[in-house]
Amino acid sequence: MFVKIEPRPEPSRVMKYCSPLIAAVLMLISGLVIFTILGKDPAQAFHAFFIEPIHDLYGIGELFIKAAPLMLIGTGLAVGFRANIWNIGAEGQMALGAIFGGYIAIIFHGSSSHFILPMMILAGAIGGILWAAIPALLKTVFNANEILVSLMLNYVALLLLELLVHGPLRDPNGYGFPQSVLFSDSAMLPVLIEGTRLHLGVLISIIGVGVGWVFLEKSFTGYQLQVAGLAQKAATYAGFDYKKLIWIGMLAGGLAAGIAGVLEIAGPIGQLLPSISPGYGYAAIIVAFVGRLHPGGIFLSSLLMALLYLGGESGQMNLDLPSAVTGIFQGLLLFYLLAADFLINYRLRLTVRRGETE
């Protein structure tokens, strides 16, 4: 028997949806191998990593808390990715969202007004958009590579956040620790389900994914983005304004990341800290790809990615597994996806050398 690779006459729709599943399964298999290499009982480690974290309602709440920023940012990034506009700066845009939103929470500290939360979210959105506007502007005006510019701005944004919580935004009564005051209740997202930490931000994120779906699948601009991504020349001939699409693609990611940043500090964190994200901005890139740049897929892949984060924590607590394993899983997942995508355009056929009929 021989394996023969041959091009498909047309891309396989089935494989398009199967390859993320193949990738997830391959990642799980790799996980078992890694656990075994680390000298853990694979079954036990698998349980600790993938089952234990979500075996009760509280755990499911945690899963959605972690998935919320990933799905929201992933959807925002997908808008640009569809048109080959690569915003890699979500981590920094998230930090800017947190800074802007957190600033509102800090200056209105102690107030019980109902307007604080909406103002924070608005401010965070503006922060994220402004930060994403920098690479968009430099790309459209100076042709500067948006990947490198947006990525460099991540480092700048994280340093800015660190600077602010060490200085101007530090809690004056906080014994010099680099953190802001704990936000008042009015600046915190209410918990939705008793017995969990599941907060309003999760609902907002899911709504965000829905808005993204409508925009991408039902609007003309969404269609233009898709065309520009598949065949830029066709888009140009059709008279689509690519510069406009660059702006939309970049700012959508900034908007989503900025809001996600606010939801993090007004949700699980409750104050400004030097670091407000365990790499959600980068993980969301994987989420977007694994979700096939489709909001529905992104919703599902964000849950998988959130499980990897939770599994990393749980594996560390229960089995002394290093939490860095999470990063390896994330990378592997994307590798496997990119590899499995080969099967969209090609098929493997088992052939017997002799007696081959075709």
Q: Please, where are the H alpha helices in 82-193?
A: 90-107, 116-142, 146-166
- Show the binding pattern over residues 199-238: x = contacts another protein (CB under 8 A), - = does not: ----------------------------------------
Q: How far is the CB of 318 from another protein (least distance, A)?
A: 17
Q: Which amino acid is at 96?
A: L
* Residue 332 touching another protein (CB under 8 A): yes
For residue 183, give both structure tokens.
């936000």
Contact 270, 182 (CB under 8 A): yes
Which of residues 156, 192, 193, 203 is near another protein by CB under 8 A?
Answer: 156
Q: How far is the CB of 40 from another protein (least distance, A)?
A: 14
* Residue 331 touching another protein (CB under 8 A): yes
Residue 197 Cα distances to 200, 268, 272, angstroms = 10, 8, 19
Which of residues 160, 191, 192, 319 is near another protein by CB under 8 A?
Answer: 160
Give Cα 94 distance to the centre of its chain: 11
* Interacting span for another protein (CB under 8 A) from 14-22, 39-47, 55-63, 145-153: 145-153
* Residue 166 touching another protein (CB under 8 A): yes
* Residue 152 touching another protein (CB under 8 A): yes
Which of residues 339, 348, 349, 356 is near another protein by CB under 8 A?
Answer: 339
Residue 96 Cα distances to 121, 154, 162, 276, 283, angstroms = 12, 10, 11, 11, 18
- Looking at the Cβ atoms of 216 and 344, the one nearer to another protein is 344
* Residue 348 touching another protein (CB under 8 A): no
- Looking at the Cβ atoms of 88 and 273, the one nearer to another protein is 88
* Interacting span for another protein (CB under 8 A) from 104-112, 137-145, 201-209, 265-273: 137-145
* Residue 326 touching another protein (CB under 8 A): yes
Neighbours of 7 (CB within 10 A): 9
* Residue 62 touching another protein (CB under 8 A): no
* Residue 147 touching another protein (CB under 8 A): yes
- Looking at the Cβ atoms of 118 and 331, the one nearer to another protein is 331
The closest alpha carbon to 304, from 88, 89, 64, 94, belongs to 64
* Residue 286 touching another protein (CB under 8 A): yes
- Spatial distance between the Cα atoms of 63 and 119, rounded to a whole number of angstroms: 27
Helix axes 295-319, 200-218, angle to 10 degrees: 150
* Residue 327 touching another protein (CB under 8 A): yes
Q: Please, where are the H alpha helices in the chain?
A: 13-37, 42-46, 57-81, 90-107, 116-142, 146-166, 200-218, 220-230, 232-237, 242-264, 280-290, 295-319, 325-340, 342-345
- Looking at the Cβ atoms of 93 and 196, the one nearer to another protein is 93
- Spatial distance between the Cα atoms of 117 and 186, rounded to a whole number of angstroms: 7
Q: Which residues bind another protein (CB under 8 A)?
A: 7, 84, 86, 88, 138, 142-145, 147-149, 151-153, 155-156, 159-160, 162-163, 166-167, 282-283, 285-286, 289, 322, 324-332, 334-335, 338-339, 341-342, 345
